[in-house]
Amino acid sequence: MANFSAPVLLYGDLFLCKNNIVDAKKKYPKAKWTTISASTESLDRIRSETGTPCFDDSKRVIVINDLPNRKQVREFLLSVVSHTHPEIKVIVWDSNNHIKIDPQTRTINKTWFDFVDGFKAVPEAKVVNNGEQLTHKDKEGGTAFIQKCFEKHGKKISNEAARMVMDIVGYDRGFLQTDIEKMCLSSPEDVTTEFIIENAYPSSKEAVLYLFSNVLDTGLYDKALDMMTEFLNNGIDANVLADLMAKKARWQLAASYFWARGQGWGSIASRLMDMGKFPSYIWHNPNVSQKKSASEPYLTPDGMINYLSKEKGVPSIYFSLKKETPKPVKKGKKNKVSDDETEEKKVKIKRGECIPLQFQAQQIVDFIRDRVVANNFTDDPEVKKKVLARAINIYLFALNKLAEIRYGTNPIQDLQDMAKALTNTQI
């Protein structure tokens, strides 16, 4: 931006584009800044603003954002940046994120390619591509961004801890930077996964529940008892802690089952993450929901049941469809039921419980492998059956205790019994 009159095009990650504009405002604090929406403002006003300098010696910077996906506007903007007054700087920002990179050709989408190419042809123009926004698929890019943010504050963070930050905070660069700035106020020079877990949770309640869950995984009953007592004294309801322990027992049972059935330790965490995602996981699977022909509808409830029973082995007796009685049509009114509608009432299936974060699934696997299996007779040919039997017994015990806590009279003793069972790694 050394040449004040050179136009600039910003596109890509919205957070980085905003940072570019903030940096420019810091560089030209005395300039008069004007922001114009290319979608709501008239083209005449944009032409007038970009052609009218300040009456004094002040510089003008005009930010044109909110670009519509219209060829007429694109051609107009190319004309404007080519004939801007020398004392006016124009920044065109694709805040609607229309300019995207085709993942196959790695080039700009065809609709906007000519616009970007035409912008580059303007003398001394600058085109800034801030890259695509972070997603769960771009683990490397997100990790690198997080590590750079910590480095700016003199901190170091490992790849594992950086990925954990993404799992907890999300993939928005703005949220990531804000949370990292807060964490750096109290973080050690070398940021550990333990520090991230305790400081990056979105709410204090989740942090409390995680800390208690983590203590249970140590297998130390006395330590778990002390933390449970502390939480109860600070107002955490007994039902909350009991529910957490019952869920932990359930996921430990699932992990034990996978291992007993011959699943490798390295893949069990991924299997756990897939659980509880029915029906969306099945419905959005293109191999299941795609049309077989132009005349056939998408996957019907009957088709879903057939798929789950034949392909996935779920007994069909677990499913039932209720017929909806057609409403009588009043005389003189047209029946508005479309041809695609049937008499079958849509079955609403409640979403199952899911593990929200990958590292939590891995911790469940690590507990079974390192605390239960490793502490017992690993050479015993019956060890898998015993590990599974332990998990079944603890889960059933936890369910009974959960019911007693909700309807009984001695919740403290029941909580202690649940904690003792979960920290007992013997088989």
Q: What is the 3-state secondary structure (H, E, C) of 136-204?
A: CCCHHHHHHHHHHHHHHCCCEECHHHHHHHHHHHCCCHHHHHHHHHHHHCCCCCEECHHHHHHHCCCCH
- Dist CA 399 CA 397 (whole Å): 5
* H or E segment and range at residue 126: strand 126-129
Provide mean pLDDT across the span 113-123. 90
Asked if residues 15 and 174 have their Cβ atoms less than 8 Å apart, the reply is yes
Indicate whether this model's pTM tops 0.85.
no
CATH no., domain 8-129 = 3.40.50.300
Specify the pLDDT at position 277: 57
State the Cα–Cα distance between residues 408 and 410, nearest whole angstrom.
Answer: 6
Q: What is the pLDDT of residue 136?
A: 67
In the three-class reduction of DSSP (H, G, I as helix; E, B as strand; rest coil), residue 218 is classed as coil
Antiparallel, parallel or unpaired: β 190-191 and 156-157: parallel
Q: Give the phi and the psi of residue 191 in degrees, each rounded to 5.
A: -80, 125
HSE, CB side, 13 Å, CA atoms: give it for residue 292. Answer: 5
Q: What is the mean pLDDT of the chain?
A: 80
At residue 166 the predicted structure's pLDDT band, cuts being 50, 70 and 90, is confident
pLDDT, tens digit, for every residue of 1-29? 445 668 999 998 888 888 889 888 888 88
- Return the DSSP state at 317: G
CA 318/CA 308 separation, integer angstroms: 11
Domains 139-200 and 216-274+356-423 belong to one CATH topology: no
Peptide linkage before 279 cis (omega within 30 of 0): yes
Q: What are the Cα distances from residue 250, in Å, to 4, 123, 354, 379? A: 64, 65, 11, 26
8 Å CB contact between 49 and 36: yes
Q: Which of 106-115, 203-212, 260-269, 386-395 has the lowest mean pLDDT?
A: 203-212
The residue that leads in pLDDT, 65 or 171, is 65
pLDDT at 48 over 80: yes
| Domains of the chain, residue spans | 8-129, 139-200, 216-274+356-423, 280-291+299-318
- Buried b or exposed e, range 324-336, using 16+ CB within 10 angstroms: eeeeeeeeeeeee
Domain 216-274+356-423 top-level CATH class: mainly alpha
Place of tokens 């649940």: 418
pLDDT of residue 165: 86
Q: Does domain 139-200 fall into CATH 3.30.590.10?
A: no
